[in-house]
Amino acid sequence: MLGQTPALMRRIAHLDMDAFYASVELLRYPQLKGLPVVIGGGRRPEDNLLARMRHLQPEREWDTSHLADIPVDIFPRLDGYTGRGVITTATYAARAFGVGSAMGVMKAAQLCPQAILLPVDFEQYRHYSRRFKEIVRDIAPVVEDRGVDEIYIDFTHVPGGQREDGRVLARLIQKSITDDTGLTCSIGVAPNKLLAKMASELNKPNGISILKPEDLQEKIWPLSCRKINGIGPKAEAKLKVHGIHTIGELAACERDWLTKHFGKSYGAWLFDAAHGVDERPVVTESEPVSMSRETTFEKDLHVQHDRAALGDIFTRLCQQVATDLQRKGYVGKTIGIKLRFDNFQSVTRDNTLAFFTADPLAIRQAAGQCLKRIEFKRRIRLLGVRVGSLVKAVDAPLPPSDTEKSLSSAITAQEPTPSKEISHEQADLF
């Protein structure tokens, strides 16, 4: 028909920053480039590098503008680490030793004792996270935020987005990010989000992969089912029981067989995923479902002997979640807690309130109620607080019976307030 433009091929990109936390650290410590470095664990006394340098070389000045001058030998190594920290990420040089995300620092110390250990600095990571997303949005505005170092980008209607199947735009984005921040990323471009996410991993670090529908068999089917975002350890284990290891093996299953064994909806999704089918749009503004804070203790705590310490930590977690909610302008009504015992068994409990809140006191009270529904037979390793069923504070309904209370929390939810000290009730478990 006259005037009708041919339908454009859908081009969806997934961008993931390379060794994100570690790469941000290397911006201030460029002398560590190419070395095995891991990020995580608690701050160790010797981590105060500038203080050490002032002691070692008192004749010159040492402030934050001299971080790049700190000799490599001064940095703390993994060797001899005995704490309970967990690694958030590792440089590619450290990964060559088998070290990686979510591994205990002690385990990493066995694999690569010479690796340098740096503490986490979330503020810096958030700063660079915002920055790289801004750069991308300036070039291609349809961006879906998927967390600190990941985004989906819809290239379809962006000028130049179709050239060389998306490679030209991907290259421009990569270069713009590196020129501005010094950080590298990897980008996958495919007909949909599911394949784009897998593609971005195929050529890491600093790579671009273009995946076309006809590449499915050669590039995707040999991969493990676990590479599909949405197949977790449980589904993987169940698939293995049936002898299904690769995506190709999954694709060979009948749709009816999958729905029979994995349920109507998940089974159908598995079938589509294995065939590279995914119609989900790139959603520019994603609403959080819940916000949470949790902490793993340096040593396991006892519900009675460590009651005071537990109470303080619990109160602090409630305050932190409240501050997160207030800063982002949300209120929630489902207050939950999570505990992990020294045998790694986890329990969660939640409590749904009659009103929406971002008030640390209300959260503390509701979370305290949840605690009373747990049987404490073992020491506690981890404690977490979550607020769910979120709505934007401005949209929160006001309950007829308690209008004032809700109104005040809806108002505080819009303005970040300095966290108040909360004294917890004696009747509380801790």
Catalytic residues: 150
Token duo for residue 314: 């619990």
Instruction: Scan residues 116-175 and list those touching ligand DCP (CB under 6 A).
Output: 148-149
Contacts of 254 (CB under 8 A, 6+ apart): none
Q: Provide the pairing of β-strand 116-118 with 37-40.
A: parallel
- Residue 88 contacts ligand DCP per CB under 6 A: yes
- Residue 102 contacts ligand DCP per CB under 6 A: yes
Chain contacts with Mg ion (rule: CB under 5 A):
16-17, 20, 149
198: DSSP letter? H
Q: Which of 35, 67, 77, 101 binds ligand DCP (CB under 6 A)?
A: 101
Stretch binding ligand DCP (CB under 6 A), from 12-20, 212-220, 296-304, 342-350: 12-20
Nearest CA-CA partner of 42 in 313, 273, 296: 296
Contact 103, 87 (CB under 8 A): yes
Residues comprising the chain, all counted: 430
Q: Give the shortest CB-20-to-Mg ion separation in angstroms.
A: 5
State the burial class of residue 335 (Cβ atoms within 10 Å of its Cβ: 0-12, 13-18, 19+).
buried
- Residue 89 contacts ligand DCP per CB under 6 A: yes
Token duo for residue 212: 């076309």
Q: Give the shortest CB-102-to-ligand DCP separation in angstroms.
A: 4
CA torsion 99→19→317→337, rounded to 10°? Answer: -70
Q: Give the shortest CB-312-to-ligand DCP separation in angstroms.
A: 25
Token duo for residue 127: 């700063």
Q: Give the shortest CB-150-to-ligand DCP separation in angstroms.
A: 6
Contact 13, 153 (CB under 8 A): yes
Specify the residue, 27 or 148, whose C-beta has the smaller distance to ligand DCP.
Answer: 148
Q: Give the shortest CB-120-to-ligand DCP separation in angstroms.
A: 8
Q: Which does 359 bind (CB under 5 to 8 A by kind): ligand DCP, Mg ion, none?
A: none
Q: Which does 21 bind (CB under 5 to 8 A by kind): Mg ion, ligand DCP, none?
A: ligand DCP
Contact track, ligand DCP, 191-220, x by CB under 6 A: -------------xx---------------
